[in-house]
Amino acid sequence: MLSLKKYLTEGLLQFTILLSLIGVRVDVDTYLTSQLPPLREIILGPSSAYTQTQFHNLRNTLDGYGIHPKSIDLDNYFTARRLLSQVRALDRFQVPTTEVNAWLVHRDPEGSVSGSQPNSGLALESSSGLQDVTGPDNGVRESETEQGFGEDLEDLGAVAPPVSGDLTKEDIDLGAGREVFDYSHRQKEQDVEKELRDGGEQDTWAGEGAEALARNLLVDGETGESFPAQFPADISSITEAVPSESEPPALQNNLLSPLLTGTESPFDLEQQWQDLMSIMEMQAMEVNTSASEILYSAPPGDPLSTNYSLAPNTPINQNVSLHQASLGGCSQDFLLFSPEVESLPVASSSTLLPLAPSNSTSLNSTFGSTNLTGLFFPPQLNGTANDTAGPELPDPLGGLLDEAMLDEISLMDLAIEEGFNPVQASQLEEEFDSDSGLSLDSSHSPSSLSSSEGSSSSSSSSSSSSSSASSSASSSFSEEGAVGYSSDSETLDLEEAEGAVGYQPEYSKFCRMSYQDPAQLSCLPYLEHVGHNHTYNMAPSALDSADLPPPSALKKGSKEKQADFLDKQMSRDEHRARAMKIPFTNDKIINLPVEEFNELLSKYQLSEAQLSLIRDIRRRGKNKMAAQNCRKRKLDTILNLERDVEDLQRDKARLLREKVEFLRSLRQMKQKVQSLYQEVFGRLRDENGRPYSPSQYALQYAGDGSVLLIPRTMADQQARRQERKPKDRRK
């Protein structure tokens, strides 16, 4: 009683001051009433835990809201009521859930740790009504299984070797990455990820974590060691996570929480996903904002919101409350706050627990502040000394969780697939290119670029060096509308008047640009490569001297060169037209509408050979433009597909992040269910006051929200039925 009194006067006062310092108004009287039993228990201690509760009476009432007429243990009554309320609330599964409680029970080392960390309780949330009890021997809320379990930790090999000189008693194997506690390190990671996220969502979320996963290596979050990943064949469920009675005592003694148990491998998928999710944590915040707001809006009287503190501004995945409490004799000090914590805003630092500095750059280096429950209480290490915890306890969420965990496997694949680094991405891209024969980025390939540049320049020079008449005609023609899709002959009169000769596809409407301007060419990446001059040679005799530049401007040698050059600019059909003395231009032949074209033909007396050539020129010209349009469309299609692929990749990454968040919430729910289940089950007593054997009995959640204690065999049968249902549905 002396310690309790001391606690009430000192601890509560300190806590109130603390809360007031962080801006939370505290009405102590309210918390001391029985209206808020959890805090009351926190403050007053687990008196009910030490009491032989007639829980069967509670069970007999089903709803647990009745008080046994012979029992005046109100403390017990409120505890049971709270627990059952929590269990029922959990039974109404909500996805995503937002909060997980981790009651950090630690002992204030005599004059050492807590003394140097006076603000260790800064992580408390206002709504939780948490109490940072600094008294060495106070009545901290603890179950009978919690009691004293931490005292043996250091003696049971749970103490990790110190990483740095700063680590002393904090160097306990917490089952969590060092970076969880290394605020500076994590802050650096978050900054980097923020930058990456700002720069682009892709290839950032998985980063090094996925890279490490891709290497099939797991990195111990505490030691930084890498070792080959060994994925468990089975996925854990709550039932499996319940500690086995045959579990080695040493393993059980590694427990950090007697409430969270499991047989899962410490390096199982969850742990790996922990790594991955932590990496993606920053990017996922935006996704969770809305959901968290909804979940945080629980009424004050809600058991969940009351007993499990909720950080209003904390995303789902980060809503892990650390109920900082002090426990005399508890050695696994989570009093790991470094002075850096003090500078943290309360809202954001509520879940941060910087530990000793670490030089780790391993996969787990991005461990955030989340999932502390899972970190602190790795399932396998969370065996329990609670004799009421059996090897197999029913899994109220087993099916769902199993399914979710199974998804994690595929998710792992996705993560590995998604998370390749740029080098891998380029390799994959090369593979795709080589396989498909289509480069998604062909327009940017160096070869294409250089080719286009050279081609454009050559085309430019050829165009400029052409005769003024043809050049102007071609230019004017190129200014017309798109070719192929529509026929436009507005400038035909001009061309005809100028006596333009030669159809130059480079100046077609399709191009809508004269290749004299490379800048215009660069505006259309897919046309960068268009610029080759594929006019075909013709005999020099076919040259028309009228097209040559003034003789004064050129020497004889250059004249010949010029003639050859101009000759090369003419297409075969142009040469044929010249040879056949076709009286109008190829442009007219090709682009005139049928009616006008026929009208034009009727104006001239043309031989059969000339008419045949004209029709061939028209056919080939149209087909050429059609081919150009076709290729343009093909390129556009490829480019659009490329954009679609990028969009889909972004969507995929986003959905993957969301899924990861949901899985994280599921795991947190699972852990909470484990905790509550074992706590409730451990308190159950039969008529003789003996605990129920978990191997013979199990708690069953009824559809109406009630909790039943049923024989294990019956529970197993029901579990099998539930397993069959999904299978039948799939069939």
Partner DNA sequence: TCGCGCTGTCATAGC
Partner DNA sequence: GTGCTATGACAGCGC
Among 388, 533, 665, 668, binds DNA (CB under 7 A): 533
> Under the criterion CB under 7 A, does residue 448 sit at the interface with DNA?
yes
| 44 contact partners, CB below 8 Å, separation of at least 6 | 4, 75, 139
CA 218 to chain centre: 19
Cα first-last separation, the chain:
64
Write the single-letter amino acid at 266. Answer: P
Task: Provide the mask over 116-155, with x wherever binding to DNA is found by CB under 7 A and - wherever it is not.
Answer: ----------------------------------------
From 125-133, 365-373, 448-456, 686-694, give the range in contact with DNA by CB under 7 A.
448-456
> Under the criterion CB under 7 A, does residue 512 sit at the interface with DNA?
no
Among 248, 339, 593, 689, binds DNA (CB under 7 A): 593
How many beta carbons lie within 10 A of that of residue 634, not counting itself? 12
Q: Least CB distance from residue 458 to DNA, whole Å?
A: 5
Q: H or E element: which one contains 101?
A: strand 100-106
Map the footprint of DNA across residues 297-356, applying CB under 7 A: none
Q: Which is nearer to DNA, 460 or 571 (CB)?
A: 571
From 65-73, 106-114, 472-480, 527-535, give the range in contact with DNA by CB under 7 A.
527-535
Among 273, 308, 420, 597, binds DNA (CB under 7 A): 597
Among 6, 56, 188, 568, binds DNA (CB under 7 A): 568
> Under the criterion CB under 7 A, does residue 553 sit at the interface with DNA?
no
Q: Least CB distance from residue 452 to DNA, whole Å?
A: 7
DSSP string, 535-568: PPP--GGG--GGGSPPGGGS-HHHHHHHHHHHHH
> Under the criterion CB under 7 A, does residue 618 sit at the interface with DNA?
yes
Among 2, 233, 539, 594, binds DNA (CB under 7 A): 594
Nearest CA to 201 among 639, 525, 658, 642? Answer: 658
Any alpha helices (H) in 394-534, and if so which ranges?
398-418, 422-436, 446-464, 468-478, 492-498, 518-523
CA dihedral 309→314→320→326, nearest 10 degrees, is -60
> Under the criterion CB under 7 A, does residue 474 sit at the interface with DNA?
no
> Under the criterion CB under 7 A, does residue 529 sit at the interface with DNA?
yes
Peptide bond into 69 cis (omega under 30): no
> Under the criterion CB under 7 A, does residue 622 sit at the interface with DNA?
yes
Tell me if 90 sits within 8 A of 676, measured CB to CB: yes
- C-alpha 650/C-alpha 639 separation (Å) is 17
> Under the criterion CB under 7 A, does residue 571 sit at the interface with DNA?
yes
To 10 degrees, what angle do helices 37-44 and 74-91 make? Answer: 130
Q: Which is nearer to DNA, 157 or 593 (CB)?
A: 593
Q: Which is nearer to DNA, 250 or 630 (CB)?
A: 630
CA 617 to chain centre: 59
Q: Which is nearer to DNA, 20 or 447 (CB)?
A: 447
Nearest CA to 253 among 159, 161, 353? Answer: 159
> Under the criterion CB under 7 A, does residue 395 sit at the interface with DNA?
no
Q: Which residue has the tokens 């081609």?
A: 455
Residues that contact DNA, how many (by CB under 7 A) = 45
Map the footprint of DNA across residues 57-96, applying CB under 7 A: none
Tell me if 361 sits within 8 A of 219, measured CB to CB: no
> Under the criterion CB under 7 A, does residue 489 sit at the interface with DNA?
no
> Under the criterion CB under 7 A, does residue 539 sit at the interface with DNA?
no
> Under the criterion CB under 7 A, does residue 502 sit at the interface with DNA?
no
> Under the criterion CB under 7 A, does residue 536 sit at the interface with DNA?
yes
> Under the criterion CB under 7 A, does residue 506 sit at the interface with DNA?
yes
Q: Under DSSP, is residue 201 helix (H, G, I), strand (E, B) or coil? A: coil
Q: Least CB distance from residue 450 to DNA, whole Å?
A: 7
Q: What's the per-residue H, E or C state across 273-339? A: HHHHHHHCHHHHHHHHHHHHHHHCCCCCCCHHHHHCCCCCCCCHHHCEEEEEEECCCCCCCCCCCCH
> Under the criterion CB under 7 A, does residue 624 sit at the interface with DNA?
yes
DSSP-derived letter for residue 9 is I
> Under the criterion CB under 7 A, does residue 652 sit at the interface with DNA?
no
Q: Which is nearer to DNA, 194 or 631 (CB)?
A: 631
Among 52, 447, 717, 722, binds DNA (CB under 7 A): 447
**Exposure of 724 by Cβ count < 10 A (0-12 exposed, 13-18 middle, 19+ buried)?**
exposed
Q: Which is nearer to DNA, 246 or 541 (CB)?
A: 541
Q: Least CB distance from residue 470 to DNA, whole Å?
A: 15
From 36-44, 150-158, 261-269, 528-536, give the range in contact with DNA by CB under 7 A.
528-536
List interacting residues with DNA (CB under 7 A). Answer: 442, 447-448, 451-452, 454-455, 458, 484-485, 487, 505-506, 528-534, 536-537, 568, 571-573, 593-594, 597, 616, 618-624, 626-631, 633-634
